[in-house]
């Protein structure tokens, strides 16, 4: 009886310890339970927002699409109208996001994800310990193809983030209600687009030398599609890149046709970026102590023009994660270009000096970017030039139907099971971006990289036809060197000069060392 009493007395202590351990792994691991969750999840859409929908010819049950921007700390809710096009309904200020601008790479880096994520009804959590929440579905097919890890990346209430987008309780309640009505109207999944910043020419010129610029330009392809056509882009994954388009992208095309309106927007943006660079726009990078917050929550008298429907006085923010990091503004540092200047002219002053018409030596200079945009093609010309290419194999489509991770999370939320299977190793970059790859599934390993082995017979010059068979070039047997190409070896020491070991030297010529770079963000405390 004494032992039983001791065990019963230790249960509250053990439960508290388990809760503390769970919270230490990351503030966004929304594994808690709220007794009032069911009532919160049934709250109606605020009347002011319903009136706003009516004024914009929208219905509460029309499909939605959500976009988030880290740098601006804003989250937009769009609704699809009767014409099939999306229009902006409302913009919400983000109360807290953590990490830096850039994608989430690994578990515990405190990075909020960037990319395109389908949100199914099973990812909505009415019993969240952070008031209400929905799971972004990270990692998706693209993240898994790039070997990225992490879990429980949410959009939730309470201004505490360790890789999540934290809204106020009031804001997440309204967003949750809008999404709930869209699901009730028949929408199977809504698209969640997450960006480092608004994809404007000014931002692209400013961050042109950031290490993530290649990934961000890939995201801009999807942003251009949505902003030019106001239609939800179909999203696929080919190799380690996103592809965007219409039905052909959904069908598995790695090079989908691009609408002329989208082409025109991209060309216009490229010209504007070139003009800004030519005018001297500095290439910089923003470094945060740990994420940011919209100025609405910091100003003593915040402007209510953008967020007119927000509660007054300012809504309760709850527990704020790392307030000392929010107190400091991000540091803007200059990034020098990694390329060398282009040599436009070089004059030998020693020989040219004194000659009539001689000019002084000129310094290295950069070629000025073109300011005249290319002509915008017509729809007919674009359709004739961009003939669809039949894929050699299936690709992964980043949608609710093509990504089983969403349904695994649904089952985990319902029955308390484990989340989606852990991500697998990164897939190798294909030989060409337009080449389709096999479907990427969370339950199946990604295709391994295959090195081609080329065996080319050595060409014998007629003049050397009668030469001895053991003639060597630079200490290597040509035939042996050719045979060894494409066969990487590991751990072989390099032969010293003068040693005659053709086999070892031939193997050494084929030696390669590969590695995958990762953008890592230092974290002062653990998290997702």
Cα separation of 294 and 74, whole Å?
Answer: 7
3 state DSSP class of 430:
coil
Identify the H or E element spanning 435: none
Strands (E), 179-327: 189-195, 234-238, 241-245, 284-287
Q: Could you give the dihedral angle defined by the CA atoms of residues 7, 11, 14 and 20, in that order, rounded to the nearest 10 degrees? A: -170
Residue 474 falls in which region: left (phi positive, over 0), alpha (psi -120 to 50) or beta? left
Length of the chain in terms of residues written: 528
Residue 300 falls in which region: left (phi positive, over 0), alpha (psi -120 to 50) or beta? alpha
Record the tokens describing residue 2, joined without a space. 């004494």
Is 156 annotated in the active site?
yes
Q: At what angle do helices 213-229 and 260-278 cross, to 10 degrees?
A: 130
Phi, psi of 86, deg, nearest 5: -90, 145
Cβ proximity of 317 and 183 under 8 Å:
no
Cα separation of 497 and 68, whole Å?
Answer: 60
Is 164 annotated in the active site?
yes
Per the residue annotation, which of 28, 95, 156, 294 is the catalytic one? 156
**Which residue reads 């993530």 in tokens?**
212
Record the tokens describing residue 260, joined without a space. 């002329």
Record the tokens describing residue 202, joined without a space. 């000014």
**Which residue reads 């769009």 in tokens?**
78
Per the residue annotation, which of 164, 238, 254, 294 is the catalytic one? 164
Q: Which residues are catalytic?
A: 156, 164
């Amino acid at each position: 009886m004494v032992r039983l009493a001791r065990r019963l007395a230790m249960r509250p202590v053990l439960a508290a310890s388990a809760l503390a351990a769970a919270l230490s792994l990351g503030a966004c691991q929304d594994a808690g339970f709220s007794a009032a969750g069911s009532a919160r999840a049934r709250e109606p859409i605020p009347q002011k927002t319903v009136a706003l929908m009516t004024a914009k010819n929208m219905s509460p049950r029309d499909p939605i699409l959500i976009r988030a921007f880290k740098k601006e700390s804003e989250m937009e809710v769009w609704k699809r109208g009767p014409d099939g096009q999306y229009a902006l309904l409302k913009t919400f200020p983000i109360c807290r996001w953590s990490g830096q601008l850039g994608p989430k790479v690994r578990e515990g880096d405190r990075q909020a994800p960037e990319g395109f994520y389908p949100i199914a009804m099973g990812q909505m959590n009415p019993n969240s310990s952070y008031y209400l929440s929905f799971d972004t579905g990270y990692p998706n097919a693209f993240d898994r193809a790039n070997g990225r890890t992490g879990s429980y990346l949410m959009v939730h209430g309470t201004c505490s983030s360790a890789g999540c987008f934290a809204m106020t309780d009031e804001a997440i309640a309204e967003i949750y209600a809008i999404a709930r009505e869209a699901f009730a109207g028949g929408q199977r999944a809504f698209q969640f687009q997450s960006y480092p910043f608004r994809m404007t020419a000014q931002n692209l010129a400013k961050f042109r030398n950031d290490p993530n610029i290649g990934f961000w330009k890939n995201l801009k392809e999807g942003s251009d599609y949505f902003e030019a056509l106001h239609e939800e882009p179909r999203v696929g994954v080919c190799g380690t890149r996103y592809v965007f388009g219409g039905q052909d992208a959904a069908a598995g095309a790695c090079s989908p046709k691009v609408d002329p309106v989208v082409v025109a927007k991209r060309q216009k943006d490229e010209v504007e970026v070139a003009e800004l660079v030519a005018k001297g726009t500095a290439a910089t990078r923003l470094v945060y102590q740990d994420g940011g917050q919209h100025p609405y929550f910091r100003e003593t008298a915040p402007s209510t023009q953008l967020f007119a429907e927000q509660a007054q006085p300012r809504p309760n923010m709850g527990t704020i994660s790392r307030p000392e990091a929010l107190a400091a503004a991000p540091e803007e540092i200059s990034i020098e270009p990694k390329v060398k200047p282009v040599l436009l002219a070089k004059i030998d002053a020693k020989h040219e000096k004194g000659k009539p018409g001689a000019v002084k030596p000129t310094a290295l200079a950069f070629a000025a970017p073109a300011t005249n945009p290319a002509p915008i093609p017509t729809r007919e010309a674009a359709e004739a030039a961009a003939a669809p290419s039949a894929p050699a194999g299936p690709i992964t489509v980043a949608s609710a139907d093509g990504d089983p991770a969403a349904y695994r999370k649904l089952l985990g939320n319902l029955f308390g099971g484990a989340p989606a299977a852990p991500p697998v190793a990164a897939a190798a970059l294909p030989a060409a971006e337009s080449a389709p790859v096999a479907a990427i599934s969370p339950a199946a390993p990604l295709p391994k990289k295959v090195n081609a082995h080329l065996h080319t017979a050595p060409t014998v010059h007629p003049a050397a036809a009668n030469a001895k068979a053991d003639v060597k070039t630079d200490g290597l047997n040509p035939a042996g060197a050719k045979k060894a190409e494409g066969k990487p070896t590991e751990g072989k020491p390099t032969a010293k000069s003068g040693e005659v070991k053709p086999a070892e030297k031939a193997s050494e010529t084929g030696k390669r060392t590969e590695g995958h770079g990762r953008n890592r963000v230092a974290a002062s405390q653990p998290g997702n």
